[in-house]
Structure 1
Amino acid sequence: MAAPAWAGGLRGLRALLLDISGVLYDSGGPSGGTPIQGSREAVSRIKKSGLKLRFCTNETQATRGKFVEKLQHLGFDVSEDEVFAPAPAACRILQERGLRPHLLVHDALVPEFDQIEKSNPNCVVIGDAAENFSYSNLNEAFQALMGMDKPLLISLGRGRYYKETDGLKLDVGVYMKALEYACDIEAEVVGKPARMFFLSALADMGVEPHQALMIGDDIVNDVGGAQQCGMKALQVRTGKYRPCDEHHPQVRADGYVNNLAEAVDTILQQLNQGESAQAAGM
C-alpha cells in the first residue's frame, strides 16, 4: 500500500508532539477516561524508536501531577516532565510579572496555584472550570476585571469544545469570549494555540520546528497553532474531530489519519525505510 502524501515530508524528523485528550483517550466515565484503540501501544513504540516525545495539552481540570497519575492509571507510559500544560506555564508568568490572580478554574486545579499570591488581585485567570462556570462566578470575575485600572484576563487555552465519553462539552474559550466581550478586552492565552507554548516544548527537546511533527484532534488549536510555529501537523479522526474540519476555511492539516496508531505506523515505517536507504547508499 502506497504511503500517504504527508509521509514524504518526514525527512529529518526528530520529535513528536502529541495532544492528549481526543488523541490518547476520551475523558469522562467512572474511570476518568477510555483509551483510544492502539494509543497506548503507539506511545510505547514512539519511545522505543528514539524519537523525542512531548505531550502538549490544554487540560486544566487537574494539576499536572494528578493528570499524569490518571494517564498512568490508564496504562500510558507518561512522566510529568514530558507533559506541557497551561497552568504551570501560567504560574511562571504570574511570578515573573508580579501578578496576583483572581481564579476562575476547576477546584482540582487550585493547588497548582498554591505558591502564588492572590490577595488584591490585579488579573483574572480562567481555565476549564466545568460546573464552576456559574453566573455568580462569571459575574465575580467580570467585576474583578472591571475594578482594575488595566484589566488583564489570562486564559488557560481557548478551545471551543472537547469530547468526553458521553459527548461534546463546552470548553474555556466560550467563557473567555464572554468576559472579553463584557469587558472590551482581549485575553492573553497560555496554552495551545499560543506560539510560546509550542516553542517551549520544542526548546525542552532541543529541536527546531521543522524537525518536529504535531498530532492532535483540534484543527485550530493543535494543527493551526503548530503550523504557525513552522511545524507540520496531522489531525486524527478521533476525539473532537468532525468531517467538516477537513474543509476548514483557514487551516488545513498536512495530513489526516484515522487515529494515533495509524500515524505512528506510517511515521516509523517511513523512518525505517529512510535509514535502510541511507545505509545502502553508504
Structure 2
Amino acid sequence: GREMAAWARAVRGLLLDVSGVLYDSGGDGGVPIAGSVEAVRRIKASGLKLQLCTNETQATREKFVKKLQGMGFDISVAEVTAPAPAACRILKERSLRPHLLVHNDLVPEFAEIDKTNPNCVVLGDAAENFTYANLNEAFRVLIGMEKPVLISLGRG
C-alpha cells in the first residue's frame, strides 16, 4: 500500500476556495474543473471535514450552493463560508445596524439584522445598485456619525 506522511494522517479537514479550484467562472455561470466533483466526493467519503470559502457577494449562499449542486457538487450551505454571513456576525457582535449598499440578490443574507436607524454602512459588489444616489445615501449615513463604520464585503 501507499505510505501516508505523518502530517497527512493528522489532517482533520480541508478548506478550499471555490472559483478557480472547483469551477471556472464564465459568462454561462461557470463549468466544473475536470476531476473536482469527484475530488469533493472522495474528500467527504474519507471522513475529512470540508469547508468551502468564497468571496461571492452577488448571491446568497443558498443560491450559490444551488449553482454548485447543479454542476454536480455534493455540498450544503453549512459547508460554505462567505463574506455576508461573516459581516452579519460582526454586525450582531457590535450591535451595528447597517445601511446596505449591496447587490439585490444578497439582501436576504441580512434578513435577521436590524437595519432601522443605521449606524454603519455595509458595502459590497452592488452592481446596478452602485449609483450616485445610493452612494450619496451611504455617504450621508457615514458623515452623520462621530466615528464612521464602513464594512466592505471585499477589497476596494
TM-score scaled to structure 2, two decimals? 0.86
Is 1:121 equivalent to 2:118 in the alignment? yes
Match of 1:22 in 2: 20
Is 1:87 equivalent to 2:84 in the alignment? yes
Is 1:38 equivalent to 2:31 in the alignment? no
Higher RCO structure (Cα 8 Å, ≥6 apart): 1
Q: Secondary structure at the match of 1:78?
A: coil
For residues 147 and 73 of structure 2, what CA distance do their matches in structure 1 show?
43
For residues 57 and 149 of structure 1, what CA distance do their matches in structure 2 show?
33
1:55 Cα deviation from its structure 2 partner: 0.8
Q: Secondary structure at the match of 1:102?
A: strand
Match of 1:152 in 2: 149
Is 1:107 equivalent to 2:91 in the alignment? no
For residues 106 and 48 of structure 2, what CA distance do their matches in structure 1 show?
31
Q: Secondary structure at the match of 2:43?
A: helix
For residues 140 and 108 of structure 2, what CA distance do their matches in structure 1 show?
24
Find the partner of 2:64 among 63, 67, 79.
67
For residues 56 and 120 of structure 1, what CA distance do their matches in structure 2 show?
32
Match of 1:52 in 2: 49
Q: Aligned in 2, Cα 1:10/1:135: closer, same or farther, shift over 3 Å?
A: farther
Counterpart code for 1:67: F
For residues 28 and 136 of structure 1, what CA distance do their matches in structure 2 show?
30
Counterpart code for 2:119: N
Q: Secondary structure at the match of 1:53?
A: strand
Equivalent residues, number: 152
Correspondences of 1:124-139 after superposition (within 5 Å): 124-139=121-136
Counterpart code for 1:19: D
Name stretches of at least 5 consecutive residues in structure 2 with no aligned partner.
Answer: none
Cα shift readout 1:136-155 (whole Å, capped 9, x = no counterpart)? 33333223211111100112
For residues 156 and 8 of structure 1, what CA distance do their matches in structure 2 show?
38
Counterpart code for 1:129: A
For residues 83 and 55 of structure 2, what CA distance do their matches in structure 1 show?
6
1:108 Cα deviation from its structure 2 partner: 0.1
Q: Secondary structure at the match of 2:10?
A: coil
1:9 Cα deviation from its structure 2 partner: 5.4
Comparing both structures, which one devotes a greater share of its residues to helix? 1
Moved over 6 A (4+): none
Name stretches of at least 5 consecutive residues in structure 1 with no aligned partner.
Answer: 1-6, 158-172, 175-282
Q: Percent identity?
A: 73
For residues 127 and 20 of structure 2, what CA distance do their matches in structure 1 show?
18
Match of 1:97 in 2: 94
For residues 6 and 34 of structure 2, what CA distance do their matches in structure 1 show?
26
1:134 Cα deviation from its structure 2 partner: 3.1
TM-score scaled to structure 1, two decimals? 0.50
1:20 Cα deviation from its structure 2 partner: 1.0
